[in-house]
Chains A and B, each alone.
Chain A
Amino acid sequence: MNTSLDTSNASDATTLSRPASSVAARPMLPPITDGSGIRWAIQDTLSMTWRNLTTIRRVPQLLVFGVVQPVIFVLMFRYVFGGAITVPGASYVDFLMPGIFVQTVSFGAINTAVGLAEDKNKGLLERLRSLPMSRSAVLGGRVFADTVRNVFIIVLMLLIGFAVGFRTHTNVVMVIAGIGVLVLFGLALAWLFALIGLSVTNGEAAQAAAFPIMAPLVFASNAFVDPSSMPGWLQAWARHQPVSAAADAMRACVLGGPTASKVLISVAWSLGIAAVLAPIAVRRYRRT
């Protein structure tokens, strides 16, 4: 194999400049691996994560727009509607902010779909498929980078919450545990949106496909109001769906009260969603 790379006699008849060091093309083929080894899977996933995080750094608008929407919701519900909303057992701002965190993670996950659809649209996925890299790293790197982004945004929203009067009633460990529950929820949603991103042709289509899925989950939930005020059929939905479960768990973690069962329900939702959708998304990636 290497012998076919012996090009030391290459004549350079074109205008190309060739540094002396590369005239003799050195064999530099990638090491022989089967591409599925754990070590390469991790390294490739980290490479793709680096690439995705660099994109976020290079185009900070993505992050800014991701924060603007929840901030508007905070201001609107805290100061416009908040006075008219009563919730059992807590001040409204304390009830609201955990819901806002869940909303931020939920809508933020749409980025996973948009990013993948754009990579597909730009032809980048074609190139990546032709490389001897791990088959799971493209999706893994996307999901991982979006998780890092989620942590950053949740912390930012936490600070904004403090600024508008939100206070935690537990301890730091519980708050971190709550963030962990949300990050896990975001991770589960990322697989849903990876699947959507691979199924559409570009970023706008991904956005258009993702919003109708998330809107009923986020708005018909207990994120902003107590479902008791909703009609019966809607209550049933609002009390038993993953966004409400995540909001319940986060509220318990920052406000106190019985916590373990709520955290377990949300974690179960997240693991269930990921267990079903991650394999489907990976299969879809290999197939398309």
Chain B
Amino acid sequence: MTLTATSPGPAIVADGLVKSFGDVHALQGVSFEVPTGTVLGLLGPNGAGKTTAVRILTTILRPDAGRASVAGYDVAAAPHMVRRSIGLAGQYAAVDENLTGHENLFLVGRLNHLSKANATQRAGELLDQFHLTDAANRPARTYSGGMRRRLDLAAALITHPPVLLLDEPTTGLDPASRQDLWGVIASLVSDGTTVLLTTQYLEEADRLADRIIVIDHGKIAAEGTAAELKATLGATMVALQFDDTAAAQSAVELLADLQATHPPADPFTVTLPLFGGAGTVRDVLNRLHDRGLTVGRFDLHEPTLDDVFLSLTGTLGSSLTAGSNASQKEQVSA
């Protein structure tokens, strides 16, 4: 790719962004850069400030303090130029239910000031590209959740924007639709589009993002590639499985000094990083034995992003709950 030679600067710059809504401090000084042609994953639980960051970068919201620029344009000084340069696909598929797929794309094309001919042509191309041609002339309210997301993403691409902001693009989707959408996003990235992606799903960030920023309570908790983040936890993770949740809970308290935690949605299991090697294993097992806690299963694995996230925020459980709520909402509205 010749991209880096022709567009040297970062495609997105956030510099000390601060935003509060009353007493809720959504962003408390967040800074990052996204080099042109790369994907940044903004990873965090619900309410971490991800959407606020996206809304500032898309000129929808003004920061209380700090600066941001997208595609070289300052969001405060040249919001119109920023809007020309971005595509936004939102958390709740922002398609007009009563318009057909084709009409939705045509409308967004026209509002981007494409000519009628260009808007029609682009709508047709995108419907084809996103496997929606058969549904092109059906109102979007008849679409499945996955089809709506694809239509929403297609609308964001109508002008071939160099910068794409995807706010939880797969929240609430079933696994098959999520895989499908990941394929779509991966192909955009191969086209050289710069992408900022927010997600609650570690797997999604791991799969799509070049770099990951873990954000929690409006602050950056960690930053790096997926591999770097995993490396911060040291080498190996120990997973201890117990027969009942009370024993697992006791083990978490007993081994708190070793950063023992429950993985998300699994109260029977306790995980902890193995900083001290075999000596730590012996220590752990001895302490559990002395307390009369029987380990049902003992397992060693390389750290996953789940482990990283859990040790950084300790709130993955709540974010997973929120994720399932979102999927219920999706089904209700579908």
Q: Which residues of B contact A4 (CB under 8 A)?
A: 3, 6-7, 36, 162, 192
Q: Which residues of B contact A22 (CB under 8 A)?
A: 125, 129
Q: Which chain B residue lies CB-closest to A119? A: B96
Shortest Cβ distance from residue B21 to the other chain A in the assembled complex, whole angstroms: 12
Q: Which residues of B contact A55 (CB under 8 A)?
A: 96, 98-99
Are A131 and B80 in contact (CB-based, < 8 A)?
no
Flag A2-26 by CB within 8 Å of B: 1 or 0 each: 0111110111111111110110011
Q: Which residues of B contact A47 (CB under 8 A)?
A: 107, 110-111
Most buried by A among B3, B110, B122, B161: B110
Q: Which of B22-30, B86-94, B304-312 contacts A (4 or more CB under 8 A)?
A: B86-94
CB contact between B159 and one of A15, A28, A54, A122 (< 8 Å): that residue: A28
CB contact between B190 and one of A1, A12, A51, A128 (< 8 Å): that residue: A12
Q: Which residues of B contact A64 (CB under 8 A)?
A: none
Q: Which residues of A contact B1 (CB under 8 A)?
A: 9
Chain B residues with a Cβ closer than 8 Å to the other chain, count = 56
Are B99 and A54 in contact (CB-based, < 8 A)?
yes
Instruction: Determine if A212 is an interface residue (Cβ-Cβ < 8 Å).
Output: no
CB contact between B114 and one of A3, A11, A28, A48 (< 8 Å): that residue: A28
Q: Which chain A residue lies CB-closest to B58? A: A130
Q: Which residues of A contact B159 (CB under 8 A)?
A: 28-30
Shortest Cβ distance from residue B257 to the other chain A in the assembled complex, whole angstroms: 45
Are B59 and A131 in contact (CB-based, < 8 A)?
no
Are B98 and A58 in contact (CB-based, < 8 A)?
yes
Q: Which of A33-41, A193-201, A230-238, A269-277 contacts B (4 or more CB under 8 A)?
A: A33-41
Known contacts A25-B160, A123-B92; decide if A10 and B59 are in contact (CB<8 Å): no
Instruction: Determine if B186 is an interface residue (Cβ-Cβ < 8 Å).
Output: yes
12 A-B pairs besides A12-B190, A33-B80, A130-B59 with CB distance below 8 A are A12-B187, A14-B184, A25-B160, A25-B191, A26-B160, A29-B161, A32-B84, A48-B111, A59-B98, A124-B94, A129-B59, A131-B112
Chain B interface (Cβ < 8 Å from any Cβ of A):
1-3, 6-7, 36, 55, 58-60, 71, 80-81, 83-86, 88, 90-99, 103, 107-108, 110-114, 118, 122, 125, 128-129, 131, 139, 155, 158-162, 183-184, 186-187, 190-192
